[in-house]
């Protein structure tokens, strides 16, 4: 299942690419989640369960699907007579969807965080501090940093893999990036590095990477994650 808006062409590209190799890849729009759904929860001492019913689609419980790629950025709420009531309704829907995503037993790339519906929202200086804390070399930060790289490389971290369009990434760098992605709760993470003086330097990261940049390697990695989940379910 892929969650995101119709303007997210990267998400639509990934869905089409997965379908071409025979994988089930269903895009669910924010409008469907809010305006055409019925969401129920059950919380007791034993467990938490949920069921999401979308119009003309099978019901989704906490046991399925096998994988969710979450690219939600906002919740579309129908305006009410009061701006305060509209804002309140939006926050209630946000809380409900966050809780639903947290009940799912399958991998969620990326789970919601306090400040974002789809992974962490972190500034460039903070990303560099996190990278340094995880053993990565970082470009020195200046307030007027323009992020011009000598030999840039953009890659996508997918859980424990680094997809880098044919560029070889040192194992120590790969391991550090995967640990950082796990630490911030973004198993699907876009990263920009720079090669300077035979050293890989971290520049920036995003929990909303350009998926098409990952090419068929990303498609294969996502399909494998889904298959692995189906085997263990």
pLDDT digits (tens, 9 = 90+) for 107-158: 999 999 878 899 999 998 899 999 999 999 987 766 555 556 677 899 999 9
Residue 53: per-residue pLDDT: 87
* Domain residue ranges in the chain: 2-118, 124-206
Taking 50 as the pLDDT cut, the residues of the chain under it are none
Residue 54: per-residue pLDDT: 85
- The pTM score is 0.88
Q: What residue has token string 């759904």?
A: 37
Residue 145: per-residue pLDDT: 57
Residue 154: per-residue pLDDT: 92
Distances in Å between the alpha carbon of 157 and those of 75, 99, 113? 26, 25, 18
């Amino acid at each position: 299942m892929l969650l995101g808006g119709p303007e997210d062409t990267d998400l639509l590209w990934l869905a089409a690419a997965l379908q071409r190799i025979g994988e089930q890849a269903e895009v669910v729009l924010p409008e469907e989640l809010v305006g055409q759904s019925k969401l129920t929860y059950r919380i007791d001492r034993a467990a938490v369960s949920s069921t999401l019913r979308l119009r003309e689609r099978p019901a989704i419980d906490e046991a399925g699907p096998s994988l969710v790629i979450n690219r939600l950025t906002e919740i579309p709420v129908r305006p009410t007579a009061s701006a305060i009531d509209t804002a309140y309704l939006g926050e209630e829907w946000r809380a409900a969807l966050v809780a639903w995503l947290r009940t799912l037993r399958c991998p969620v790339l990326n789970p919601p965080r306090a400040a974002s519906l789809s992974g962490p929202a972190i500034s460039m200086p903070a990303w560099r501090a996190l990278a340094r804390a995880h053993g990565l070399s970082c470009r020195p930060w200046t307030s007027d940093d323009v992020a011009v790289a000598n030999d840039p490389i953009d890659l996508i971290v997918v859980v424990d893999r680094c997809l880098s369009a044919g560029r070889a990434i040192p194992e120590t760098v790969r391991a550090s990036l995967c640990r950082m992605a796990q630490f911030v709760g973004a198993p699907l993470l876009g990263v920009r590095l720079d090669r300077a003086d035979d050293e890989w330097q971290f520049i920036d990261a995003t929990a909303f990477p350009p998926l098409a940049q990952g090419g068929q390697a990303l498609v294969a990695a996502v399909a494998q994650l889904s298959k692995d989940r189906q085997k263990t379910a």
